Amino acid sequence: MKPAPFAYARASSVAHAVELLERHDGDAKLLAGGQSLIATLNMRLSSPALLVDINGIGGLDRIAVAGGKVEIGALVRHVAAERSAEIARHAPLIALAMPHIAHPAIRNRGTLGGSIAFADPAAELPACLVALDGEVDIEGPDGKRTVKADDFFKALFETALGPHDMLTAIRLPAATKDTRVGFAELARRHGDYAMVGLAATARAAGAGLADVRLAYFGIGATPVRAKKAEAALASGTIDDAVKALATDLAPSGDLQASAEVKLHLAGVLLRRVAKQLAEPRS
Ligand SMILES: Cc1cc2nc3c(=O)[nH]c(=O)nc-3n(C[C@H](O)[C@H](O)[C@H](O)COP(=O)(O)OP(=O)(O)OC[C@H]3O[C@@H](n4cnc5c(N)ncnc54)[C@H](O)[C@@H]3O)c2cc1C
């Protein structure tokens, strides 16, 4: 299928993009890598009157590490994050997740900002952002604001972004020598959206773990924290943590797997990720 006709504008700045969104009140969409948006246009799931291309806006394709934080601009492409030495060193969870996102052709164009803004419930990066307790910078008609990842993902494909807002960057705590991370997903083929996935962070504390954060994806409308399992992993055994998933998670079945299968797979992933969390980073 072909998309419905649309007009095209190239934004010269974030303020210009926001102005164009406001002027076309609810009938315009930002175009970043286009890897999700163009598919929804072609399937006529969406038919905005105007596409606002943000690819020409300068300064949004940078990765910066300062003050114990890693800031990733909205237009950083998946491939740039995947190959970045700074991401590998300071944001190792993102480095683990990147190769699981789609295929190289899609990673060449897709952006981190687009992935977070699109908020597909089966996507890797939203769950990583939640596991890392990261935050999102937004610019809109009323100026700039920052939203914590836990408050950003609201419902299915619904975020804290309003219709006239643009996501400009995400910010993550930079890893320290005590940081532990884990990532695993089960997909029918490598590069497919996950049936179930898990992104996790923790802090090494003596022989055990503290500040465990487990963020599942592909299991609910948004990334889902498994808080009882987090507590069990910090103070109990892996078996306790797996048992706790039955109260933490309420998966609904989809085309890929039934609710029961998803819950079982969540336990399998937790055992794999717990092993990664137990090992110091090299
Ligand atoms: C075959 C295929 C397989 C894929 N598999 C995976 C996968 O396994 N895992 C995964 O995570 N993703 C997957 N993707 C999606 C891919 O990661 C996309 O790149 C990503 O979801 C969207 O990024 P984009 O830059 O292409 O955004 P676009 O497609 O340009 O935009 C997506 C949406 O976000 C909005 N948007 C974009 N940027 C901003 C911004 N800065 N501020 C506010 N709103 C914005 C757009 O208006 C649009 O509504 C797949 C895509 C395809 C086609």
Q: What is the pLDDT of residues 13-55, one digit of tens each?
A: 999 999 999 999 889 999 999 999 999 999 999 999 999 999 9
Whether 102 contacts 191, CB under 8 Å:
yes
At residue 281, does pLDDT exceed 80?
Answer: no
Task: Give the residue whose CA is nearest to atom 37 of ligand 1.
Answer: 114
**Ligand 1 centroid distance, CA of 166 (Å):** 14
- How much is the pLDDT for 254? 87
Atom of ligand 1 nearest to the CA of 39: 53
Q: Return the pLDDT at 190.
A: 85
Predicted confidence at residue 256, as pLDDT, reads: 86
Q: Mean pLDDT over residues 153-172, rounded?
A: 97
Pocket test for ligand 1, best of 20, 22, 35 (most atoms within 8 A of CB): 35
What radius of gyration do the chain's Cα atoms show? Answer: 19
Give residue 268's identity as a one-letter amino acid code.
V
**pTM of the predicted model, to two decimals?**
0.97
pLDDT at 26: 84
Residues in contact with 18: Cβ distance below 8 Å, sequence separation at least 6, in sequence order? 139, 140, 141, 164, 165, 166
Cα(34)–Cα(90) distance, rounded to whole angstroms?
28
Q: Span 203-222, mean pLDDT? A: 95
Mean pLDDT (the chain, rounded): 96
CA 248 to ligand 1 center in whole angstroms: 28
pLDDT band at 1 (very low <50, low <70, confident <90, very high): confident
pLDDT of residue 247: 97
Q: What is the pLDDT of residue 117?
A: 98
Distance 37 CA to ligand 1 centre (A): 7
Q: Give 5 Cα–ligand 1 centroid separation in angstroms.
A: 21
